[in-house]
Copies of this chain bind each other. A is one copy, B any other.
Amino acid sequence: MKSLIIGIVAGILCTFSFIPQVAKIIRTKHTKDLSLITFSALSLGVFLWLIYGLMIKEFPVIAANAVTLILSLTIVMMKIKHG
């Protein structure tokens, strides 16, 4: 039970951690210091976690990774746009 709560808090933190990065890029329009490979690999990894969640029909895995994928892909697209 204790481990379940820690898992949920961990998932929420990791999922929403990318919001300040997205906000910062929207504000500054600067992405030069960000690694395109990092956020592309992360997006692909999170996409596979989403597929995994759909295959094992686990809603928390699906929801968390769907949100992270949107944020991560937003960073990739803004990195491509701003360079």
Q: A6-B48, A48-B10, A49-B7 are in contact. Are A17 and B42 (CB under 8 A)?
A: yes
Residue contacts A-B, CB under 8 angstroms, 12 given: A2-B55, A6-B51, A10-B45, A11-B45, A13-B42, A13-B48, A14-B45, A16-B41, A17-B39, A18-B38, A24-B33, A33-B34
Main secondary structure of the interface of A (DSSP, over half): helix
Q: Which residue of B lies closest to A9 (CB)?
A: B48
- In the complex, chain B residues whose CB is within 8 Å of the CB of A19: 38
**How far apart are the CA atoms of A25 and B35 in the complex, in Å?**
9
Report yes or no: A45 in contact with B33, Cβ–Cβ below 8 A.
no
Q: Which residue of B lies closest to A4 (CB)?
A: B52
